[in-house]
Chain A
Amino acid sequence: MTPASFSPTGIRFENIDKRYGGLYALRRVSLEISAGECVVFAGRNGSGKTTLLRVAARLARPSSGTVSVVNGSGELIGTPPPAGFVAHATMVYDELTAEENLLLFARLHGIAEPASRAQALLQEVGLLERRDSLVRTFSRGMRQRVAIARALLNEPALVLLDEPTTGLDPQGASWFAETLRGLRDSGRTILMSLHGESEVSTLATRAIRLDAGAVVADTRTGANFRSILAFANA
């Protein structure tokens, strides 16, 4: 997407449990995601995909276990930079315009030239002409494009995507797959959950299947890899 200055970042989950009352959303999850990997999480509804991504984003605190962000050499990073996160919800303000939303978050991130960064991203997501329109007047797909632009504002080294193609039409999904390919090829670490058919899954370098909050399969190659991706696309 954009030539970036970022440090390669991986993420390490060690014995993560996440409970909501008596219900386990995650159970003893231990994973080492190296810098530059593109990981697809597959699983049924309620299998823990969203919770794992929110734990990775540090939006949800694990009930037990630790999450660490590591650099390209596997050493811990003390104060990790914020991840880019695209979720089910758009995470943008309906009462603000597309440009106002991006400017708001760019300023919060402390980006040096927020206006030009916002403009460049609006151009990339194809919404430059609608930059002065309130987000509440947008279709679901257009809102998702704003959400994607917001997530990429700070050129994150770690990109977390929870069913990112929700609401995108086939052209939008193709555009997003290309964008994601650029991010992956630039060395960013991508963790995503997918539900339904998506060409985005072809970008995966690793597939992990979750069931009832636990990792039941984790593979990079072979028939199992394809079967997990097929499950994600089912």
Chain B
Amino acid sequence: MALLSNTAVLLGKELRTEFRSRELLTTTVVFILTIVVLFSFTFDPSVSESRRFGPGLLWLAFLFAASLMLQPCFLREQPNDTLSALRLSVSDPFAIFLAKLAANTLFLLFTQILLLPAFSILYNVPVLAAFPQLVLVMFMGSLGLSVTGTALSAISAQARMRELLLPLLLLPLLTPVLIASTEATAALLVPNPAMRWDWLGFLLAFDVVFLTALWLFGEYLLEE
């Protein structure tokens, strides 16, 4: 119970500080929008090409955005050493990770849903037919990005060259999430959309494995 209540309190703090500053959300939305627009102008794809390549481009944009968004997640705790204060206050350090990954997942999902109409217009791909299923895929994909990214953010925050380290570690590790999310999204953008439960199951397995690893070893990532 203490784990859940601590997580809820910390999630409230993450949301409050972000919605007060809007630093992460604003930069991420602008970044993804820029990439999606640039891809659209560069390739000028037809409808069939959009359906074929669009999901991949979309998830690549999400992946780059995630590496941007996840970077400050632990870095912003450093100037005032607030991470130490959190460690002294929570009964289980896993609550710190849970709150951060929940906040990151929500931020990513919010950004993705916000940008879906722009993607639909620019690439001429209807998304409303399978909108609930798309949101589910985006949630599972965002969770995968956040679980891995939050753990790596904790590692890279203590390293030199931290700005370079996170993308270097994150991008290869997230390749399976990228493939599964792209495949599941592509199956929902065709004229007869269908949910690819096999890829969704793969995403679920990925999320569970990394979440378990974080639960087992997360405490060590926070130590000096």
| B216 on the A face (CB < 8 A) | no
A130 CB to closest chain B CB (Å) equals: 18
CB contacts (< 8 Å) of A82 on chain B: these are: 88-89
Main secondary structure of the interface of B (DSSP, over half): helix
CB within 8 Å of B: which of A44-65? 54, 57, 59-61
* A60–B16 alpha-carbon span in the complex (Å): 29
Number of interface residues of A (CB under 8 A): 27
CB contacts (< 8 Å) of B171 on chain A: these are: none
CB within 8 Å of A: which of B1-35? 2, 5-6, 9-10, 13, 16-17, 20-21
Contact flag A108-B80 (CB < 8 Å), given A82-B89, A85-B88, A95-B17: no
| A17 on the B face (CB < 8 A) | no
Main secondary structure of the interface of A (DSSP, over half): loop
B122 CB to closest chain A CB (Å) equals: 35
| B162 on the A face (CB < 8 A) | no
* A85–B88 alpha-carbon span in the complex (Å): 8
| A3 on the B face (CB < 8 A) | no
A108–B17 contact, CB under 8 A? no
B82–A91 contact, CB under 8 A? yes
Contact string against A for B residues 90-118, beta-carbon threshold 8 Å, 1 for contact and 0 otherwise = 11000000000000000000000000000
CB contacts (< 8 Å) of B2 on chain A: these are: 110
A109–B89 contact, CB under 8 A? yes
Enumerate 13 A-B pairs (CB-CB under 8 Å) in ascending A order. Answer: A57-B88, A59-B84, A59-B88, A60-B223, A85-B84, A89-B81, A90-B80, A91-B81, A91-B82, A91-B84, A93-B13, A93-B17, A107-B9
Question: Which chain A residues have a beta carbon within 8 Å of chain B's beta carbons?
Answer: 54, 57, 59-61, 82-83, 85, 87-96, 100, 104-105, 107-110, 150, 154
Question: Which chain B residues have a beta carbon within 8 Å of chain A's beta carbons?
Answer: 2, 5-6, 9-10, 13, 16-17, 20-21, 79-82, 84-91, 223-224
